[in-house]
Amino acid sequence: MARPRKPLLSTDRIVETARALVDAEGLAAVSTRRLAAELGVSGPSLYNHFRTKDEILEAVADSVSAQVDLSMFEDGREWRTALHDWAVSYRTALRDHPNIVPVLAHGPGRRPAALHLADAVYGAMVRAGWPAAQATSIGALMRYFVMGSALGSFAGGFVDDAGAYDPADYPHLQQAHLLAEQQEKIDERAFETGLTALLDGLAQQYAQVAQGV
C-alpha cells in the first residue's frame, strides 16, 4: 500500500486540534485521550511529538502569540502608535482565544513566539529612547493591561433582567440590565479608553526622559 502524501499526525495538527478544543470547551477538555480520539490516532502516538499535556497547552498558547502582529515595530511607526497598534492586535488574538489566556499569563517561558513578542516590544522601546528599565516596565504594563482586558467582560457580567437591580440597593444601576446586549461595543470602548489613558501617561513620562529629568 502506498504511503499517504501527508503524515497522519503532525505537531501542527495536534496543536490545531488542541486549540479548537480549548476554544470550544476550555482547558479542562484537553487530555491525551481526548486529543487522540479527535485526531483518530492511538494515545501513545502523541508522545512522539509532545511528552505531556502541559507541553501541548504551551504549544497552543504559543500558536496564539504567533497571531499577534509585530510589523508595527519594524516599519518606522512612532513608538506610541506602534504600542497602540500592537496592543489592539494582541487583544484581538486573546479575544479570539480567551480560554488559553490563563496559560499565556504565566509568562513566555521558553515559547518562541511569545519570546519574539517580548523582544519586539522591548527592542522598539529602547530604540525609541526609553531607558532599559523603563522599557521593561512598559512591556510588563502593556501585557498586564491587554491580558486583563481579555480575561472577562465587564458588560457581560451583568444580567439582562431589569428587576435584578433594585433601585433601593443600587440607585445608579437602573440601566445595568442593558449592558449585556451591548457587550462588544462597551468592552471595545473601555479598552480604547484605557489604552489611550495609558499611552497619554507614558507620553508624559517620555517627555521627561527626553529632557533628561
| pLDDT for res 74 | 95
Neighbours of 35 (CB within 10 A): 20
In the chain (213 residues long), the average pLDDT of successive 10-residue segments reads 62 96 96 92 86 94 98 96 98 95 92 97 97 96 94 89 92 91 91 97 93 72
| pLDDT for res 1 | 46
- The fold of 68-210 is Tetracycline Repressor; domain 2 (1.10.357)
Q: According to DSSP H, which parts of the chain are helical?
A: 11-25, 32-39, 53-65, 79-96, 101-104, 112-127, 132-150, 183-210
Residue 158, helix vs strand vs coil:
coil
Which residue's entry shows cell 481579555?
A: 150
What would the CATH number be for the domain defined by 9-61? 1.10.10.60
| pLDDT for res 180 | 86
| pLDDT for res 211 | 82
Which sequence spans correspond to the domains of the chain?
9-61, 68-210
Residue 161, helix vs strand vs coil:
coil
